[in-house]
Amino acid sequence: MKKTLTLIVILLIACLVSIFVSACDGSGEGEIFPPATYEINSEEDFRAIREKTGIKYSLATFLLKTDLDLSSSNWDGIGASPNVSDAFTGIFDGDGHSITYTTQIDPPTETVLDINERQSFGLFTYANNATFKNLNIFVNLKTPCEAENIYVGGLCAYLSGDSSIEDVNVTGNIETTIRDLRQDIVLSDGSIVKPAMGGQENNKYYDLCLGGVVGYSKGDLSYSNVMSSVDINIGRNKYCILNNLNVGGIAGIIRPVDISYNNSSPRINLTNLTFEGSILAYGGNVYSGGIAGLINHSNVSNVFVGNSTPSDFSGNAYGRLSFGLVSGVMENSHLEKARVIADTVFAGSISTSKKVSFNLGGVAGMLKNSVISLCISDISFELRNGTYFYAGGIAGVCYDSDIVGAVSEGGISIVSSGQTVLNIRDYDFKYNMVAIDLADYSRNAKNGGIVGRVEGQCQIADLSSEFQSYQPLFGETANRLEIVILKKGDTFLDEWIEESGYDRNLMIITETFSKDAAEDEQQYTINHFYEVEDNLKLTFREINAKVCIDRAEWQLAGRNLENGELGKAQVDLTAHDALKLSIETEID
């Protein structure tokens, strides 16, 4: 027995010695080295960070002691994969210094293509649970899109985990290209990929997530005092475009790990964000914004786009385009205090054979389960005639969302087939004695000074529009229909409403029959409706609304102008400036 115990003790001591040695020589996989600071005094020191990635260096600080110019050769980003074992995981402190880098890669011409699962470009390619702060970046990046998923960011291509960016400024140019893939492509494994659409134009390949600072970010994130002045150009050739595109002046996508639930508290914090660059994008489905293509579950505050120099934007889509000066799509998020300005935003269809759907907003293309407050938007949209779109001075579509305290300026212009640009107030709508021409109406009339389409549980208050559009306030409004089957009894219905996060006062609930309901179950048909409060401040000017200018023709066509929210609105020429001044005071 004593011999057995002695042997066990010896084995335990051997294990402890092995663990200690492993921690000292860095050969172990799970250990974390003690906190340490590595000074970066040269390009060689910076390149050496490649050997200090992974969880082992998660307590390390890399302190930049001088400006660096890495543009003598194409830069290959730091971080081998998004896994915590391969990504950059430490703290990078620029200490106010700058890094200049260049990546210029022309699209290959050979027909052999090694299609990778993903492709990433940036100063850092992958970072996980990392911190970047006090850094200025000058980027000159041009890259082909040669993978199923492509991530591009001036600072970091793919950022995940509990990461933060503080006091970072990115300036420069980012451009992507796509080669002509109409011919048969021979993959590196010998298999052959045939073109999706033969010799037709606009074959769609690959998905791209691109931002001036970060391409794709996922996790419990924090962005603070982040500025981008990057000019972004996402190209095409005549025959090929990117399939799904998320592009933003700051980030392509900002989201938590879990986005499966609505009406939950935002977990990402974004504050003091500025974009003063430009975006030109071609794609199948394009989600584009001055800050991000998509923002999800985020608290966003103090946003400025085009504040000193109005930014330029152009979005061209084959299928769907969602654009806003803050975000193309904003879901389960709160935005407070934003001033956004753009001289001209061009939105065009690159399809001649299918209906393209556009959601265009001064702040957000689409709002879903979100809140906007204290925002000023000044934006001019220019669209080709024949495009089907929802557009508004604040949001293109407002879906189960609130807008309280906002001012919109600018307007919509229509580009005719002869390339003549007409302000929508001067556009010649086709009225007749029976009804407005439905095709013309569907294409060009679903836009308003505030929102293109209001749907579901939306609360609207304290708004003023000087935005030139078809309707003075809302292009169209609709209830949102929902059908649920629950256990019988008010208790189960009450629990469902509480868990949903929606307002019962904005519901019309009806018990309806369903063959799918069991004996102890009941089907409910629920209409979620919007609310315009009686004591709100809601103003517009009739000379900015085409429907008011054409009031006689509209009424002759059998339509009623004075519906719901317009009956409560005021035509007040002084209230707009007063509300704008009060919001500016809050923002500043």
pLDDT tens digits, one per residue of 419-435: 677 888 888 777 664 55
pLDDT at residue 21 tops 80: no
Report the sign of the C-alpha dihedral through residues 258, 261, 262, 265, in that order.
negative
Distance between terminal CA atoms of the chain?
A: 79
* Domains of the chain, residue spans: 54-477, 480-528
Higher local confidence (pLDDT), 320 or 293: 293
Mean pLDDT for the stretch of residues 383-398? 86
**pLDDT, tens digit, 9 for 90 and up, residues 152-188:** 999 999 999 999 999 999 999 999 987 766 555 555 5
What does the alpha-carbon distance between residue 421 and residue 419 come to, in Å, rounded to a whole number? 6
Which range of 184-198, 214-228, 468-482 scores highest in mean pLDDT? It is 214-228
What pLDDT, on a 0 to 100 scale, did the predictor assign at position 343? Answer: 83
CA nearest to 297, candidates 260, 322, 339, 326: 260
**Which range (254-263, 330-339, 429-438) has the least confidence?**
429-438
Mean pLDDT for the stretch of residues 344-352? 74
Q: What is the layout of strands, in order, in the sheet containing 185-187?
A: 112-113, 185-187, 192-193
Tokens of 267: 């977990």
What pLDDT, on a 0 to 100 scale, did the predictor assign at position 443? Answer: 72
What does the alpha-carbon distance between residue 86 and residue 170 come to, in Å, rounded to a whole number? 25
**What percent of the chain is predicted at pLDDT more than 70?**
78
Mean pLDDT for the stretch of residues 481-505? 86
DSSP, residue by residue, 489-533: SHHHHHHHHHHHT--GGGEEEEEE--TTS-TTEEEEEEEE--EE-
**pLDDT, tens digit, 9 for 90 and up, residues 80-137:** 888 888 999 999 999 999 999 999 987 766 555 555 678 899 999 999 999 999 999 9
The SS3 of residue 27 is coil
**What mean pLDDT, rounded, does the chain reach?**
83
DSSP 33: P
578 Cβ contact partners less than 8 Å away, ≥ 6 residues apart: none
What pLDDT, on a 0 to 100 scale, did the predictor assign at position 68? Answer: 97
Confidence band of 416 (pLDDT split at 50, 70, 90): confident
What pLDDT, on a 0 to 100 scale, did the predictor assign at position 20? Answer: 35
pLDDT at residue 25 tops 60: no
Report CA Rg, the chain: 27
Strand positions, DSSP E, 290-420: 292-296, 298-305, 311-324, 327-331, 334-349, 357-361, 364-368, 371-384, 388-392, 395-399, 402-415
CB-hemisphere CA count at 13 Å for 55?
11
What pLDDT, on a 0 to 100 scale, did the predictor assign at position 481? Answer: 82
CA nearest to 230, candidates 290, 303, 304: 290
What pLDDT, on a 0 to 100 scale, did the predictor assign at position 526? Answer: 86
Confidence band of 195 (pLDDT split at 50, 70, 90): low
What pLDDT, on a 0 to 100 scale, did the predictor assign at position 569? Answer: 58
The SS3 of residue 108 is coil
pTM of the model: 0.86
Report yes or no: 380 and 413 within 8 Å, Cβ to Cβ: yes
Confidence band of 196 (pLDDT split at 50, 70, 90): very low
Mean pLDDT for the stretch of residues 447-471? 90
Which range of 113-117, 243-247, 326-330, 506-510 scores highest in mean pLDDT? It is 326-330
Residue with tokens 């914004």: 289
Residue with tokens 């000044």: 378
